[in-house]
Structure 1
C-alpha cells in the first residue's frame, strides 16, 4: 500500500493509534519516536525522551496516552493529544544483575487499559499508568536464566514468560505469582541443541489458556493445558495487604505436567 521513511535510522518498533489507523507511532534506532500520518505521508511529531533505541510502544485508548520503552531501561508516558511527555521513569534493575547492551524493554497494556506489563530480562512488572508506579514485580533468582519475552493472555488474567534456558513460566497477572513451570524437556526433544531458546511468546486471541512459543531455531510450538486440568497450575491464595513486590516463587510449582501440541 505504501512505502515510507527509508532508513537510516532504522525503525525498531511500530504501534498503530487505536482510534485512527492512519497514525502510526514509529520507534527509531536513534531513540526518537516519530508520529507518522500515512494518509498525508508526513511526520506530525518527533518525540525525544529516550537515550537509546526504542524497543516497545503501547497505546491506551482509555487514558489517551502512548507508553514507550527503550534499551535505556526507561519508560515514558506521552499524551496523544499534543504528544507532550507526561512522565518518565527508569526501571529498578535488581542488585546483582547487569542487563546486557542488547537488553530490550517491552510494554503491553492490560485489558483495563490502565495498567501495563513491563518485560525486561531482569524482571516482570505491572505498572499503573497515571502515576507511572510499579505495583507488582517478579524477579528471577540470581542463578536463573534471563527472561526473553512475556505477554498477557487474551483475557489479561495470566502472564506467559519465556527464559533463555528454554523454561516457560505461567503467572497470575493479578499478583505475578507463579502458577506453573514448563521445563524444556516437556517440549524439546533431547536431540535439540541446548542453545535453542524461546525468542517470543504470543497469546491466542480468544483462548486464554493457549499460547505459542517461537524458538531461535525457527521452530514454533503451541501449548495448551491437559484436558483433565483445563488450566495452568493452581491459582494462588488471595493476598492480604498491598505489597509492591511479589516474592520469588520456588522452582517447583503445581501443575507442571502440561500438554503441548
Structure 2
C-alpha cells in the first residue's frame, strides 16, 4: 500500500467534537483484491440498530457494535459489480442494482435473493440497444414497500413494482437462490417511465 491508500472502514463518530469512537475494516469477499477501494454507502435500517453497507463487491448488514451479521457477494446470475442498494420503506427488502443493469431484491433478514429482474424487463427494447445503462441510484417508495425507482446511468428513471399477478416480490416464502427464475422480458412487470405519475 502507498502512503495514502487505506482499507475501507466503517466508523462510529461522536457528534460531540467529532471524535471517532470505533472503526472496523470492511472485509473483502473471497477472491476479491485487497484492500477494498471505491465508493461505499451506508444506510440505517428502520430499527436504528442495523446498518446496510454497500460496496461494488458486496452488500452487508452490520449491527451497532460494527459486527458484520451477514453479507452477500455477487455470484451466479448476479455476478456483476453492485452499483447501488437501499432498504425498502419497511426495511424488509433490499433493492440492489448491478453494473450490468440487473436488479436483485433481497430479504433484509437473511440476504436471500427473492427476485432477479433482468434489464430487458424494465428497459424498453427501442432504447436498450446501447445495453450499457445501469442503476446508479435506487430510491425506495416512502409508503409502498414493493415499489422503487431506478435512476439510470443514461439519465432515465424507471419506476418498478411487482406485476398485477403478484402482490409482492418473490412471494411470501423464502426460496433457495438457485430456484428463483429471472423475470423474462415478456413478464407483466409494471415499469413506468418517469413521465407517468406514480400512484
Q: TM-score, with normalisation over the residues of structure 1?
A: 0.63
SS in 1 for 2:68: strand
**Structure ranking higher on relative contact order (CA contacts 8 Å, 6+ apart):** 2
SS in 2 for 1:234: coil
Distance 2:8 2:148 in 1: 27
Aligned to 2:158: 221
Question: For residues 182 and 152 of structure 2, what CA distance do their matches in structure 1 show?
Answer: 23
Q: Report the CA distance between 1:86 and its aligned residue.
A: 1.3
Deviations 1:159-201 (A, max 9, x none): 0000000000101111111000000110113342111111110
CA-to-aligned-CA distance 1:52-84 (integer Å, 9 cap, x gap): 7xxxxxxxxxxxxxxxxxx84211101223432
Distance in 1 of aligned mates of 2:40 and 2:34? 11
2:177 match: 249
Cross-structure match for 2:41: 106
Match of 2:27 among 92, 98, 110: 92
For residues 80-102 of structure 1, the C-alpha deviation after alignment (integer angstroms, 9 at most, x for no partner) is 23432111111111132238987
Q: 1:79 to 1:101 in 2, by over 3 A?
A: closer
Alpha-carbon distance in 2 for matches of 1:152, 1:99: 27
Report SS of the residue matched to 1:185: helix
Distance 1:224 1:99 in 2: 37
Structure 2 gaps of 5+ residues are 193-199
Q: Does 1:166 align with 2:94?
A: no
Q: How does 1:66-81 map to 2 (within 5 A)?
A: 72-81=7-16
Question: Given the superposition, is the C-alpha separation of residues 236 and 135 from structure 1 closer, same or farther in structure 2, using an over 3 Å criterion?
Answer: farther
Larger Rg: 1
Question: What's 1:196 paired with?
Answer: 133
Gaps of 5+ in 1: 1-50, 53-70, 239-247
Is 1:260 the counterpart of 2:184? The answer is no
Question: Matched residue of 1:151: which SS?
Answer: strand
Q: For 2:95 and 2:174, how far apart are their aligned partners in 1?
A: 19
In structure 2, distance between residues paired with 1:84 and 1:172: 34
2:196 maps to what in 1?
none
Specify the alignment match of 1:37 in structure 2: none
Determine the structure 2 residue equivalent to 1:208. Answer: 145
Q: 1:223 to 1:122 in 2, by over 3 A?
A: same
Verify the 8 A CA contact 1:177 1:236 in the aligned structure 2.
no
Distance 1:210 1:259 in 2: 10
Q: If the length of structure 2 is used for normalisation, what is the TM-score?
A: 0.82
